[in-house]
Amino acid sequence: MTKAPGPYALTGARIFRDNRVWLSDHALVIDGARIAAIVADADLGESIPRRRVAGLLAPGFVDVQVNGGGGVLFNDTRTWDGIAAIGAAHRRFGTTGFLPTFITDTPARMREALAAVREAVARGVPGLLGVHLEGPFLNVARKGIHDPALIRPIRDDDIELIGDFAASLPPGFATLLTLAPECVGPDAVERLAKAGAVLSAGHTDADADTVARARAAGLTGFTHLFNAMPPLAGRAPGPVGAALTDPESYCGIIADLHHVSPVSLAAAIRAHGPARMMLVTDAMPTVGSAEDTFTLAGRAITRAGGRLTAADGTLAGSDLDMASAVRHATGRLGVSLDDALRMASHYPAAFLGLERERGRIAPGMRADLVLLDAALAVIATWIDGREAGDLP
């Protein structure tokens, strides 16, 4: 369906209004890029063009950690059209907002990645919400698949670069940085936060006190909780304990059932509460692609049994999409459908400071939508009021 010159209405679906209530026999009216109204079918004017759909109409998914998709890895394809290809691959799985994620690399390549994001923003790539820099200011002891030779301390020019980039983005876009709090002191954290970056702890060995100091300085999130960080222990709560006892923190979780045991994920959600828990994919190029292998920082990565691993068995991102994450949350983690949809949309949007624009179905919000069937498979998606099949 092409974008209508005036309002049009979606009818026939159950609508998850404002992340609080399911409405039947109502129409969702879209005008341009935004939701204009939600009205009873009986009150919908005859002059409004309408399209009848069937299923569950929910806020489009927001994924804050997307390394690649559709055969494209952002680190290797640092171009605006590479970003567009990644977004197009994930739209098929309900993602209407995403952060292309650039993992630890050289300073020159990081600058190229930021330039590509800036151009993609200028070109209006559908669904693009900014950028996620995962590293290089990490703890080499918790490197995961990151290249240890490229992990390094943060410098003043790094803070200036990231701060200037964050300030250069127009409203509605975010700059997320994953860092190790023990390697990036509170002063640097505070400078980055004041410059407008969203900060998340990851690939870290920090103790709970160090995390608390970073939180006080402006850190607000935790990247792929449990992964690339020490486990919760009786006398060493570490970042996991710090995250789960802090109801104001945002915690990303990779619910592919490989990165973390479903039992541990369920326990974390119950301990923290589902509010501010965020489903993320950490997706690699295999999502939306038939290819089972790719190269990451010179290492061959193979997809087998839903896992992506290097030759030594190290997990290398995931083969997860957001619709599957929602299904796993409801089917394996004991999460209600309402909470799972909020974890896939509202909470990540709020983490990025974009909750006034995205992550809810309500008048005035952007018309970013996903239509799901009873099995929570994606039927259709819309970004800014346009159905995905009509987007470039």
Q: Which residues are catalytic?
A: 282
Between CA 53 and CA 11 the distance in angstroms is 6
Backbone phi and psi for residue 118, each to the nearest 5 degrees, phi listed first: -60, -40
DSSP 60-113: PEEEEEE-EETTEETTT--SHHHHHHHHHHHHTTTEEEEEEEEES--HHHHHHH
- Token pair for residue 352? 């990025």
| Cα dihedral sign, 324-278-319-82 | positive
Between CA 196 and CA 376 the distance in angstroms is 36
- Token pair for residue 160? 């200036």
Residues linked to residue 339 through DSSP beta bridges, in sequence order: none
If you ran DSSP here, which 8-state letter would residue 4 be given? P
Amino acid at 212: A
Task: Label the pairing between strands 56-59 and 8-11.
Answer: unpaired
Helix, coil or strand: residue 131 = strand
Measured at the CA of 257, the angle between CA 252 and CA 263, to 5 degrees, comes to 85
Closest-CA residue to 62 (of 33, 86, 91): 91
Between CA 294 and CA 27 the distance in angstroms is 44
Would you call 124 exposed, middle or buried from its count of C-beta atoms within 10 A (0-12, 13-18, 19+)? exposed
Residue with tokens 């103790």: 207
| 158: Cβ contacts below 8 Å, ≥ 6 apart | 107, 137
For the chain, the helix, strand and coil percentages under 3-state DSSP, each to the nearest 5 = 30, 25, 45
Between CA 333 and CA 330 the distance in angstroms is 6
